[in-house]
Amino acid sequence: MKTIRTYNQISVKGLDRLLAAGYEVAEKTEQPDALMLRSYKMQVEDILPTVKAIGRAGAGVNNIPLEACTGRGIPVFNAPGANANAVKELVLAGMLLSSRGILQGIDYVSTLDRSLDEKAMNVLLEAEKKRFKGNELAGKTIGIIGLGAIGSKIADMALSLGMSVLGYDPAISVEAAWRLPSEVERIESISSVLARADFVTLHLPVLDATRNLINRDTLAACRPETVLLNFSRKEIVDSAAVAEALNNKVFAQYVADFPVPELIGLPGCLLMPHIGASTDEAEDNCAIMVAEQLKDFLEHGNVVNAVNFPALKMPRDNGAFRMTITNHNVPTMLGSITTVLAQANLNVIDLLNKSRGEIAYNIIDLADKPSAQVVADLQAIDGVINIRLL
């Protein structure tokens, strides 16, 4: 029986996929095969020697020690796109709240004298409602920085609202490019997006290249009426630069899902308590996706949506014995592996090999089960990290 150790509260719909497959799921277990978490800040010591995989029921993995996992040959799975609709809808809410006097109007109504009769209240509201006049989204331009699963959904939504859409993503994948509506105008620089758009929304991972991507220099390109929305990660935006730019009226408003002390209460800031993916549907979708990915890896060695491993998936021949090998991505490794198998007279039925950065991963289907000596010989190859027999 395979065991999954969970951190945080994981959606029951995801856990049910594992339980139905005969897995043990527990918050405390001494020899877990895999770990499953949401926002828990994982430490290296949490990754016990038996752990073969980690699943993050969400998109970001900055709470997981990736380097340590990669060094031990442990794939870290996430759920890209599973919360895309939830974030898309909150971006829409952010645009509406920033362009109409919704919150201000609600606050005003809450202060009205309840002793007024309905006629007097109607007269008062008619006189005061002009204070809360706003602008419609139709006809405005939105710039989307990051055109992945969330960005493409926002592009669709914005087009349906009658908006013009600018898109910037220098690292867009072929799959994402196919998802993108043809009406989106591709822009070659962030500054051009900031200079042309009424709304600019960020949807990027936290990488060395994206940390503080929005800073004093990039914000200088904004127009005074620009609204900047960040439902991605707080590290992408230099908060001090945002505060300075708002105080100097470089741009109009900052709508974000990541409150930080220097922005709380600042005029022009609308801050939410990191609720972008906080819907029942998004939590279910993330947990289901990660549960299925963990099952597929633990049972068949397939890798789908791992942030530190190459994507590799091979149909399984029922008559074959499957072995997976993780190794450092250095020359001659595959030749050394197949030489050991050939010397043991093991017939390779099928083999897939792929690398990503410093890691290479192999799925090998054999006609017979390799002996303990063969496994030891493979493990003795300089550069082999781990071997699994499935």
Q: Which residues are catalytic?
A: 233, 262, 274
Q: DSSP string covering 80-107, please?
A: TTTTHHHHHHHHHHHHHHHHS-HHHHHH
Two structure tokens written together for 195: 């200079």
Owner of token pair 């192999």: 362
Q: How far apart are CA 102 and CA 136, in angstroms?
A: 12
For the chain, how big is the Rg over CA atoms in Å? 26
Q: Residue 342 burial by CB count (10 A; 0-12/13-18/19+): exposed, middle or buried?
A: exposed
**3-class secondary structure, 45:** helix
Tell me, what DSSP letter sits at residue 367?
S
Strand partners, 141: 164
CA distance 390 to 377: 18
- The values of phi and psi at residue 269, to 5°, are -105, 130
Residue with tokens 């030489």: 339
Q: Residues 6 or more apart from 146 whose CB is under 8 A from it?
A: 168, 169, 202, 203, 204, 232
Contact predicate 138/161, CB 8 Å: yes
Given a contact cutoff of 8 angstroms between Cβ atoms, the answer to whether 29 and 5 are in contact is: yes
**How far is the C-alpha of 252 from the C-alpha of 200, rounded, in Å?**
12
Q: How far apart are CA 47 and CA 55, in angstroms?
A: 12
Q: What CA–CA distance (Å, rounded) separates 33 from 52?
A: 6
> What torsion do the CA atoms of 275, 281, 283, 287 make, to the nearest 10 degrees?
-160
* Spatial distance between the Cα atoms of 40 and 6, rounded to a whole number of angstroms: 10
